[in-house]
């Protein structure tokens, strides 16, 4: 239930600014990774080298995330946001250089900046939506990523085909710099709770409470599922049908259904709390994993279950903000989001690598493992909302 004094989100300047910033950044960042691979391939990079370039951003992002919370405490969340956005723009220069080591360094630097910006935006989101509208704001926040990605891919393709990769990269950097300017010029820092740890230090005791440990584990389960589904289902569909149009249709359907799922999950969390949307999302992951395990050779099962599982994963990403707001003091949000970003990075690597290994044993095995393991998520989310009182949905 919404707080009586909370204005609608469309009348909240901070909420609208945050959504605008996320849109500006994502319209570049979402297609950037896809076209980087194509660009490096055209430059005669080997697949092994390309994978190392891509992995460098994840590793750098994980390391930056571990100090992101400390930086937020030292310089403030607003300035961490500006810093992260400016540093993220550095990876656009990979399309201007030829030296492989410089390419790796620039792409890694962009990954580090992206981690800092994500920590800042996540912390600001829970601050803005703390009066009972967090679920809807979280859904719209994630939706702005998928929507801008849907727009950014064809726009980037048209730019590259007409003007080349350097112009595409330069225009994309302009969007990120514009987003940083919006934060610097118009974001007004709101007073927050007094930090629970001394200024300038990161208290490891923050992860000791049982609800925080549950959040970390649930985040891990949801992300491993996403990492596997993102890679394995398109590959499996292509193996069965050799139809690139079907794979493209699957990607489009995933974005559309995920957008709907994010909105429904966020709105439901505002009305009834975080338990049921999270419980249903984990249940969908379990059912979809088991369905693909049983019918891994059926194209329509792969398509439908893959789309629904991806949507459930995005819904759980929306619910992550609700979990943190419901169980963690505001002063600890930035450090925790830093840790959760590192968890996301490691979980994505685990998901893609373990999925590739398991599918060699049996086509349905990684999906069956996903289904069984995410049953733990169902148990944990029930325990999570049984252990301590809610802060955000009272």
Domain ranges, residue 219: 203-388
Q: Are residues 117 and 265 in the same domain?
A: no
What confidence tier does 311 reach under pLDDT thresholds 50, 70, 90? very high
Average pLDDT of the segment spanning 269-285: 92
Residue 305: pLDDT over 90:
yes
Q: What is the pLDDT of residue 301?
A: 93
Q: Are residues 87 and 151 in the same domain?
A: yes
How much is the average pLDDT of 214-234?
87
Alpha-carbon distance of 128 to 391, in angstroms, equals 14
Instruction: Render pLDDT for 339-389 as a digit per residue (tens, 0 to 9).
Output: 888 888 888 778 777 877 888 888 889 899 989 999 999 999 999 998 655
Tell me the CA distances in angstroms from 310 to 199, 260, 286, one per residue in order. Answer: 39, 12, 12
Work out how many domains the chain is built from and give that number.
2
- Distance, in Å, from the CA atom of 17 to the CA atom of 26, rounded to the nearest integer, reads 14
Q: Is 120 among the domain residues?
A: yes
**Which of 153, 169, 192 is the endpoint of a domain?**
192
Assigned domain for 59 exists: yes
DSSP 112-148: HHHHHHHHHHHHHHHHHTTTTTHHHHHHHHHHHHHHH
Q: Count how many Cα atoms sit within 13 Å of the Cα of residue 256 in the half-sphere of its side chain.
A: 7
Whether residue 250 sits in one domain with residue 163: no
Do residue 139 and residue 241 come from a single domain?
Answer: no
Please indicate, yes or no, if residue 393 is contained in any of the structural domains: no
Predicted TM-score (pTM) of this structure? 0.73
Same domain, 170 and 208: no
Residue 52 is assigned to a structural domain of this protein: yes
Same domain, 154 and 17: yes
Q: What is the mean pLDDT of the chain?
A: 83
Residues 232 and 363 in one domain: yes
Q: Is 162 helix (H, G, I), strand (E, B) or coil?
A: helix
pLDDT digits (tens, 9 = 90+) for 236-263: 887 888 776 777 678 778 878 888 888 8
Whole-angstrom distance, CA of residue 183 vs CA of residue 81:
7
Which CATH number does the domain housing residue 380 bear? 1.20.1250.20
Out of 14-23, 125-134, 229-238, 301-310, least confident range: 125-134
**Of residues 306, 309, 254, the one with CA closest to residue 285:** 309
Instruction: Give the span between the Cα atoms of 243 and 57, in whole angstroms.
Output: 31
3-state helix, strand, coil in the chain (%, to 5): 85, 0, 15
What is the separation, in whole angstroms, between the first and last Cα of the chain? 8
- Is 11 in the same domain as 123? yes
């Amino acid at each position: 239930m919404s707080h009586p004094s909370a204005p609608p989100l469309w009348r909240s300047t901070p909420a609208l600014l945050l959504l605008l910033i996320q849109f500006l950044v994502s319209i570049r960042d979402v297609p950037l990774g896809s076209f980087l691979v194509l660009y490096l391939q055209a430059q005669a990079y080997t697949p092994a080298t390309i994978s190392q370039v891509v992995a460098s951003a994840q590793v750098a992002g994980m390391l930056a995330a571990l100090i992101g919370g400390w930086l937020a405490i030292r310089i403030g969340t607003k300035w961490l946001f500006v810093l992260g956005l400016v540093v993220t723009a550095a990876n656009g220069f990979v399309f201007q250089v030829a030296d492989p080591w410089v390419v790796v360094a620039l792409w890694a630097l962009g990954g580090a900046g992206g981690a800092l910006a994500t920590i800042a935006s996540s912390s600001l989101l829970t601050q803005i939506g703390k009066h009972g509208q967090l679920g809807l704001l979280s859904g719209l926040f994630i939706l702005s990523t998928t929507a801008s990605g849907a727009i950014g891919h064809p726009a980037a393709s048209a730019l590259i085909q007409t003007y080349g990769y350097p112009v595409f990269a330069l225009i994309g950097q302009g969007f990120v710099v514009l987003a940083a300017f919006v934060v610097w010029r118009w974001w007004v820092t709101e007073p927050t709770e007094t930090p629970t740890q001394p200024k300038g230090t990161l208290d490891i005791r923050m992860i000791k409470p049982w609800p925080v440990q549950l959040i970390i584990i649930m985040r891990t389960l949801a992300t491993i599922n996403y990492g596997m589904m993102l890679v394995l289902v398109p590959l499996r569909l292509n193996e069965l049908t050799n139809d690139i149009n079907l794979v493209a249709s699957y990607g489009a359907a995933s974005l559309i259904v995920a957008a709907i799922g994010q909105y429904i999950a966020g709105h439901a969390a505002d009305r009834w709390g975080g338990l049921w949307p999270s419980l249903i999302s984990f249940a969908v992951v379990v059912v979809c994993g088991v369905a693909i395990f049983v019918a891994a050779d059926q194209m329509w099962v792969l398509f439908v279950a893959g789309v629904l599982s991806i949507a459930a994963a995005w819904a759980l990403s929306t619910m992550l903000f609700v979990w943190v707001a419901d169980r963690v003091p505001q002063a600890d949000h930035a450090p925790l989001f830093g840790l959760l970003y590192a968890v996301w990075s490691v979980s994505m690597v685990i998901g893609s690598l373990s999925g590739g290994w398991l599918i060699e044993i049996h086509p349905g095995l990684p999906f069956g493992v996903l289904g069984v393991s995410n049953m733990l998520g169902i148990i944990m989310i029930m325990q999570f909302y049984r252990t301590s009182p809610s802060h955000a949905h009272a």
